[in-house]
Amino acid sequence: MYIGIDVGGTNIAVGILDEQLKIIKSGSVSTKAGRAYQDVVRDMAMLTFDLMQQAGLPRDIIKWVGIGTPGAVDVKEGIVRRANNLRWNNAPIASEFKRYIDKPVFMDNDANCAALGEFVMGAAGGKHSAVVITYGTGVGCGIIVDDKIYSGFGGSAGEIGHMVIDINGQVCNCGRSGCYETFASMTALVRRGSAAADANPLSAMAQIRDFSEHLNGKTIFELAKAGDETALTVVKQHIFYMAVGITNIVNILEPEAVVIGGAISKEGEYILEPIRRHVEEYAFCRTLQIPEIVTATLGNKAGIVGAAVLPDYQ
């Protein structure tokens, strides 16, 4: 049995996996971000104990524990060097966790763990390299090269959300102008959707926005599919922006597969078809073979699965 723990800014998710990497029991508690790392680690351990008990499993059956956390993770030392959203600096998570469960503890960045989950058990299963891009509030990414997580020299690689794609673009929270995530994140989609609704007050999108005061990525896609021209223009533009960044990554890394994660992955072929067409038209490797471009399949379980298999892929 393996334990996979996915620490997010909002929730801590824990899963118990069997030898076939099937999640046999999982649960989550609130992270309450901003607390001292000791408090968060205690909650991680307590939830693990609870789940073991619910599953009727003795503690000794655990072979190892994998933990994914936001921020820059010192994989060798098991220390989170810096995680802004948790307000941790040099937090020794692995050693702290071992005070509760004295088994080998492996750690990596949460985006890397989610990527690894998709790589091992999800959309990129059977490949040897993949880039898994998660579109959410920002744009996160995990890179797998030669069956290993690629973390970069100090654990900060894969920040493709902060790749400038418009040198004259709007200022990003990282300080640069025109970062990919200011174009392709769900936040950016909703922002452009809202602006388009303002500009087209008779559109279905404007009416729904004004009625429900709530416009999210899913609504905008639904409106586009239902034939609202304003929403359709926004959605087409959004898919184009997604494709520009993906083509950049294909030109730089030429992975075997690109996996699109986050809530937008539910759109499936509706986004995949135009993105593939863009990559086929513009990627440098187009005359040979373009990477497989697919949507993620594990949803929010990817982080747990990836954390649980860390030792084989670090």
- Convert residues 255-274 into a mask of x (bound to a second copy by CB under 8 A) and - (unbound): xx------------------
Taking the least distance from each CB to a second copy, the nearer of 64 and 150 is: 150
- Convert residues 11-50 into a mask of x (bound to a second copy by CB under 8 A) and - (unbound): ----------------------------------------
Per CB under 8 A, 100 contacts a second copy: no
In angstroms, rounded to a whole number, what is the distance separating the alpha carbons of residues 200 and 203?
A: 6
Look up residue 310 and give its DSSP letter.
G
In angstroms, rounded to a whole number, what is the distance separating the alpha carbons of residues 210 and 5?
A: 40
Per CB under 8 A, 75 contacts a second copy: no
Per CB under 8 A, 285 contacts a second copy: yes
Per CB under 8 A, 164 contacts a second copy: yes
Least separation in angstroms between residue 34's CB and a second copy is 18
The amino acid present at 71, given as its one-letter code, is: G
Least separation in angstroms between residue 257's CB and a second copy is 9
Selected binder of a second copy within 11, 216, 248, 314 (CB under 8 A): 248
In angstroms, rounded to a whole number, what is the distance separating the alpha carbons of residues 10 and 30?
A: 6
CB under 8 A: which stretch of 18-26, 149-157, 203-211, 267-275 binds a second copy? 149-157
Selected binder of a second copy within 76, 125, 289, 311 (CB under 8 A): 289
CB under 8 A: which stretch of 18-26, 42-50, 259-267, 280-288 binds a second copy? 280-288
Q: Which residues contact 273 (CB under 8 A, 6 or more apart)?
A: none
Q: Collapsing DSSP states into helix, strand and coil, what is residue 296? A: coil
Per CB under 8 A, 80 contacts a second copy: no
Per CB under 8 A, 246 contacts a second copy: no
Residue spans of beta strands (DSSP E) within 40-125 = 64-69, 72-74, 79-83, 88-91, 105-109
Selected binder of a second copy within 77, 166, 222, 229 (CB under 8 A): 166
Place of tokens 């200022």: 171
Dihedral angle over CA of 81, 82, 87, 93, nearest 10? -30
Per CB under 8 A, 108 contacts a second copy: no
Selected binder of a second copy within 11, 26, 156, 297 (CB under 8 A): 156
Selected binder of a second copy within 20, 60, 126, 167 (CB under 8 A): 167
* Of 95, 92, 99, 131, the residue nearest 115 (C-alpha): 131
In angstroms, rounded to a whole number, what is the distance separating the alpha carbons of residues 189 and 237?
A: 9
Q: Is residue 158 a contact partner of residue 150, using CB atoms and an 8 Å limit?
A: yes
Q: Is residue 152 a contact partner of residue 146, using CB atoms and an 8 Å limit?
A: no
Q: Is residue 4 a contact partner of residue 110, using CB atoms and an 8 Å limit?
A: no
Q: Which residues contact 76 (CB under 8 A, 6 or more apart)?
A: none
Least separation in angstroms between residue 159's CB and a second copy is 4
Q: How long a stretch of residues is the chain?
A: 314
Per CB under 8 A, 7 contacts a second copy: no
Residues that bind a second copy (CB under 8 A): 72, 81-82, 129, 145-146, 148, 150-160, 162-169, 174-176, 178, 183, 241, 244, 247-249, 251-256, 281-282, 284-285, 287-289, 291
